[in-house]
Amino acid sequence: MDAVANSDSIRAAFVYYNVPYTTLKSHSNNLISYYHVGRPPKFDKEEELHLEQAALALQGYFSLFSMIFITFF
């Protein structure tokens, strides 16, 4: 990126450094955003919190149930 920033052409940097042209072009035009890396989440933060609480509650319920089942059978 320094080569492109120092007025070298994108194509010259592409050939010299063996970096894809579209990558250099995107970075030089500030089209790259690192705020959201990967897939967008399916749940928002509140839904994720509720899902976590439900999973922990069910985990506690089923561990208690399995202990009772093992004790009596």
pLDDT tens digits in sequence order for the chain, 73 residues long: 455 555 567 778 777 888 888 887 877 777 666 666 677 778 899 999 999 999 988 887 777 666 666 666 6
* Separation of alpha carbons 22 and 10, rounded Å: 9
- Do 49 and 72 lie in a common domain? yes
Longest dimension (CA), the chain: 79
- Do 11 and 31 lie in a common domain? yes
Amino acid (1-letter code) at residue 6: N
- Do 3 and 31 lie in a common domain? yes
- Do 34 and 1 lie in a common domain? yes
* Separation of alpha carbons 14 and 10, rounded Å: 6
pTM of the model: 0.38
Task: Quickly list H helices, the chain.
Answer: 2-5, 10-17, 21-28, 45-72
For residue 36, give its domain range. 1-40
- Do 36 and 51 lie in a common domain? no
Domains held by the chain: number: 2
* Separation of alpha carbons 4 and 70, rounded Å: 68
- Do 48 and 34 lie in a common domain? no
